[in-house]
C-alpha cells in the first residue's frame, strides 16, 4: 500500500504547456502516473503529446475525473492555481514552485484549512511525492526508488530525499511512499501529517524522517512520535555543522538563539525513542538494520 497517491491517482498538470510543466509532466507520465489533463488558461482545446489541455481546473476535473493536481507555475500565479484546484474539488495538490512569498503561503494554507479541509497541499517548494511503481508526482527521479515497501520516507530537504531513496534502494530495501514536504516556513503538509498516515498504513513498517535546522517542526514530530507512533523511526537532521547565527538553505532554515538548532532537534527526537543518525548514509544503514530485524 501507500499514502496519499497510488496507481489509481488521476493527475492534472497546472502549467503543462510551459517548459517545466511539459518536462516534468511527461516524465511523470513515462513513469506510469496517470496524467489525464493539463490546464493553461487560453490554451484549452490543445494538447501536449496526447494529453488534453483545458482552460480551467473546473472543466478538467469534470471531463477527466481527476482527483489530484500537480502545480508547475511561476510564483506569482501559484497561490491562485492551488486555490483553483481546491475549488474544483481536487483532494491533493502537489506544488513544486519555489519562491512563493511566505505571506502568500500562509494565506493559501489557512484558506485551505478554513474553506477546503478535504484538499491536502504538499509543498510548496518541494520535490513532490512518489509511491514507487505506482505514481510519481513532482521532480523525484523514479529510477532511484524501489517498489514494495516496507519503509516510508518524509523529508524537508529535496536533495536528501533523493539520497534517502538511493541509500535504501541500493540495499534492496523498498519504499511504500516517499514525500518531500518542502522547507518553506508554511508547508501545506507537516511531518505529523505524514507520520500519522504512515502509522495507519499497514504496508509501512518503519519510517525515515529527514529534517533540518530552523523552525520547530521536528520537535513537534518528536512529541507525536513519543505519544502516538508504534513503528520504528530513523531520523537525520541536516545542518549539524551550520555556523551559529548563519541563515542557510531553505527559507524555513532560520535558527533563532537556541531554537531550531540541529542539536536541539536531535536531542528531542532521541528522547522520543527515535534512532538519530549523524549523516544520511548512517541513516540508511540504521534503517536497513531495522528492516532486517522486523
Known catalytic residues?
250
Burial 261-271 (b: 16+ CB within 10 A, else e): bbebbbebbee
DSSP H or E segment with residue 247: none
Cell of 293: 530485524
DSSP 8-state symbol, 230: -
Cα 77 to Cα 24, 42, 81, 184: the distances in Å are 18, 15, 6, 17
Placement of cell 549539524 in the chain: 240
Q: Report the distance separating Cα 86 and Cα 201, nearest Å.
A: 25
Cell of 13: 498538470
The residue among 269, 162, 196, 285 whose CA lies nearest residue 261 is 269
245: region left, alpha or beta (phi > 0 left; psi from -120 to 50 alpha): left
Q: Report the distance separating Cα 286 and Cα 276, nearest Å.
A: 9
Q: Report the distance separating Cα 272 and Cα 268, nearest Å.
A: 6
Amino acid at each position: 500500500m501507500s499514502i496519499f497517491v497510488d496507481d489509481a491517482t488521476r493527475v492534472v498538470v497546472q502549467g503543462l504547456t510551459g517548459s517545466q510543466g511539459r518536462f516534468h509532466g511527461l516524465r511523470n507520465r513515462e513513469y506510469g502516473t496517470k496524467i489525464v489533463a493539463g490546464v493553461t488558461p487560453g490554451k484549452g482545446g490543445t494538447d501536449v503529446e496526447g494529453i488534453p489541455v483545458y482552460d480551467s481546473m473546473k472543466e478538467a476535473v469534470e471531463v477527466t475525473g481527476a482527483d489530484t493536481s500537480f502545480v508547475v507555475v511561476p510564483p506569482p500565479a501559484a497561490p491562485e492555481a492551488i486555490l483553483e484546484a481546491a475549488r474544483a474539488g481536487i483532494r491533493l495538490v502537489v506544488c513544486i514552485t519555489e519562491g512563493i512569498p511566505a505571506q502568500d503561503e500562509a494565506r493559501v494554507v489557512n484558506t485551505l484549512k478554513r474553506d477546503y479541509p478535504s484538499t491536502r497541499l504538499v509543498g510548496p517548494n518541494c520535490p513532490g511525492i512518489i509511491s514507487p511503481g505506482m505514481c510519481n508526482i513532482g521532480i523525484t527521479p523514479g529510477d532511484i526508488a524501489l517498489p514494495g515497501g516496507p519503509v516510508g520516507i518524509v523529508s524537508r530537504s529535496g536533495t536528501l530525499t533523493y539520497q534517502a531513496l538511493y541509500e535504501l534502494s541500493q540495499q534492496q530495501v523498498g519504499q511504500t511512499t516517499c514525500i518531500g514536504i518542502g522547507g518553506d516556513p508554511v508547508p501545506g503538509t507537516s511531518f505529523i501529517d505524514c507520520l500519522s498516515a504512515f502509522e495507519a498504513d499497514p504496508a509501512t513498517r518503519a519510517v525515515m524522517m529527514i529534517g533540518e535546522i530552523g523552525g520547530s517542526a521536528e520537535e513537534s514530530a518528536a512529541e507525536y512520535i513519543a505519544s502516538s507512533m508504534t513503528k520504528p523511526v530513523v531520523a537525520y537532521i541536516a545542518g549539524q555543522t551550520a555556523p551559529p547565527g548563519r541563515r542557510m538553505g531553505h527559507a524555513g532554515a532560520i535558527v533563532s538563539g537556541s531554537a531550531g538548532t540541529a542539536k536541539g532537534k536531535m536531542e528531542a527526537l532521541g528522547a522520543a525513542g527515535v534512532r538519530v543518525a549523524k549523516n544520511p548514509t548512517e541513516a540508511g544503514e540504521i534503517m536497513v538494520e531495522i528492516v532486517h530485524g522486523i
